[in-house]
Amino acid sequence: MSRLLVRPGDPLSGEVVISGAKNSVLKLMAATVLAEGRYVLRNVPDISDVTIMGRLLEAMGMSVRRREDAALEIVRGPDVVAEAPYELVEQMRASTAVLGPLLAGVGRARVALPGGDDFGSRPVDMHLASLEALGASFALSHGMIEGHAEKLIGAEVVLEYPSVGATENLLMAGATARGTTTVRNAAREPEISDLAAFLNRMGARVLGAGSPTIVIEGVDELRAVEHTVIPDRVEVVTFLAAVAVAGGEVTLRGARADHVDLLIEKMGRMGLRISPEADGLWAMSSGRPRPIDVATLPYPGIATDYLPMLVAVMCLADGTSYATENVFAGRFRYVGELARMGADIRVEGHHLVIDGVERLSGAPVRAVDIRAGAAMAIAALAADGETTIHDAGPIDRGYESFVEKLSGLGADITRQD
Ligand code: UD1
């Protein structure tokens, strides 16, 4: 598996183009199971999670082709193999997004039960309970979730937590259910709104996406369409954090300020100057970041996916920062890696107390997950000497051209395969 070498360098400068959102495109790909025909998804990031989801669709009998122009062509024929095998689900948990579309489009689904991952245990109980409310039935056998649904029937579902994945499965299952499905306490992430826009384009009637109550009026038929994926807000935050650590002046082309407004306020308090432009965001930073308090929450709160990068900035702040992880309680494995670089972080339950240091110290570390890997690279921009990020593969799961984009801004980062 590849390694990244990072050395501290000059402040960053220039422009970086933000790619399409990983967490959106994976669900749009899953949604193509719903209706026969030829789909074109545009602004699709060239990342390995998209490759894995493509393999899953191919294993299900569909065809997937990446074009030169960052578009993905997907053809869904009349027959679909209703199975997501363990080899693929184990590589990428988001594979469970095919559960709702398979039940709606084929009437049955065999999907491997995902195990735990670097975030800790990640149950799918809410996915199953909400699909059961629409009339699906499930059995667990030999590590596979086996689901059946003669015909899904619209219902009112109250989620006990605004789960992104459960909301998405409900949207896709409800699109062709008989009658109306109402999702209360729905997740409000921009990726949910993108999925709703895609489904509506296919002929669905989804109202209220982006708010806590989503109403889906079931339709008889959906059709294949073309759609452009929203920009990746986590990639935006990654580059903002890089500017906060390395200093400099950068334009993030294609970034949507309205998807990261609370984050812009938080990073502003850390001393980063950010302003929206016609087609992106401009950011500038000089001097040491200021400490902040941050707690992760479902959207519009600060996303759990942002926290590792924000913690990398806090490690260098001029004072004590506090970070609380409310979404995935076990998501602190990267802290030990930052500590290897001289960060002063205390873990107290799901809280971090971070005493900023003036300089970190380059060290061999590991990318324990996608965002943790990005956090290591950011921290390394202000670490004396060389940092080697071992097992850097997870970074490629979620970032297109990570090394090229950062080095394009002047960072001293190279890949060693
Ligand atoms: C998605 C994102 C992930 C992001 C997360 C929260 C994708 C591919 N992944 O993950 O990057 O960090 O949203 O913004 O889009 N839970 C249950 N039972 C369930 C489902 C979830 O207990 O059936 C819990 C989880 O363990 C977690 C919380 O709910 O503690 C939030 O999970 P959820 O919003 O579902 O995240 P994902 O959709 O898995």
CA 4 / ligand 1 centre spacing (Å):
29
Q: What is the phi/psi pair of residue 186, to 5°? A: -70, 150
Question: Do residues 249 and 199 both lie within one domain?
Answer: no
- 122: Cβ below 6 Å to ligand 1? yes
Catalytic residue among 117, 318, 344, 412: 117
Domain boundary among 185, 204, 228: 228
Q: What is the pLDDT of residue 326?
A: 96
Question: Do residues 343 and 387 both lie within one domain?
Answer: yes
To the query of whether residue 46 is one of the catalytic residues in this protein, the response is no
- 385: Cβ below 6 Å to ligand 1? no
Give me the domain span that covers residue 116: 22-228
d(CA 79, CA 402): 37
**CATH code for the domain of 373:** 3.65.10.10
Between the alpha carbon of residue 61 and those of residues 36, 76, 78, 84, 225, the distances in Å are 12, 8, 10, 11, 19
- Sign for the CA dihedral angle at 76, 77, 81, 87 comes to negative
Domain boundary among 177, 207, 228: 228
Ligand 1: which atom is nearest the Cα of residue 125?
A: 23
Question: Do residues 255 and 305 both lie within one domain?
Answer: yes
Question: Do residues 249 and 298 both lie within one domain?
Answer: yes
10-residue block means of pLDDT along the chain (417 residues)? Answer: 92 98 98 98 97 97 96 97 93 93 96 74 89 96 93 97 98 98 98 98 98 98 98 98 98 97 96 96 96 98 98 98 93 96 97 97 96 98 97 96 98 94
Domain boundary among 176, 206, 228: 228
Atom 35 of ligand 1, nearest CA residue: 163
CA 58 / ligand 1 centre spacing (Å):
25
With 0.95 as the threshold, say if the pTM is over it.
yes
Q: What is the pLDDT of residue 118?
A: 64
d(CA 116, CA 330): 10
- Sign for the CA dihedral angle at 294, 297, 298, 299 comes to negative
- 166: Cβ below 6 Å to ligand 1? yes
Question: Do residues 221 and 238 both lie within one domain?
Answer: no
Give the torsion through C-alpha atoms of 96, 100, 106, 111, to 10 deg.
Answer: 20
d(CA 246, CA 284): 10
- 138: Cβ below 6 Å to ligand 1? no
What 3-state class would DSSP assign to 213? strand
Question: Do residues 268 and 200 both lie within one domain?
Answer: no
Q: What is the pLDDT of residue 114?
A: 85
CA 130 / ligand 1 centre spacing (Å):
14
Question: Do residues 32 and 115 both lie within one domain?
Answer: yes
Question: Do residues 260 and 162 both lie within one domain?
Answer: no
- 126: Cβ below 6 Å to ligand 1? yes
Question: Do residues 96 and 224 both lie within one domain?
Answer: yes
- 204: Cβ below 6 Å to ligand 1? no
Q: What is the tally of structural domains in the chain? A: 2
For residues 152 and 174, the answer to whether their CB atoms sit within 8 Å is: yes
Q: What is the pLDDT of residue 329?
A: 83
Q: Are strands 360-361 and 383-384 parallel, antiparallel or unpaired?
A: parallel
Ligand 1: which atom is nearest the Cα of residue 24?
A: 15
d(CA 347, CA 354): 9
Question: Do residues 165 and 238 both lie within one domain?
Answer: no
Atom 13 of ligand 1, nearest CA residue: 164
| Most informative mutation of 164, 185, 302 for ligand 1 (most atoms within 8 A of CB) | 164
- 328: Cβ below 6 Å to ligand 1? yes
Question: Do residues 210 and 76 both lie within one domain?
Answer: yes
Question: Do residues 224 and 237 both lie within one domain?
Answer: no
Inter-helix orientation angle 307-314/233-246, to 10°: 10
| Most informative mutation of 327, 331, 369, 370 for ligand 1 (most atoms within 8 A of CB) | 327
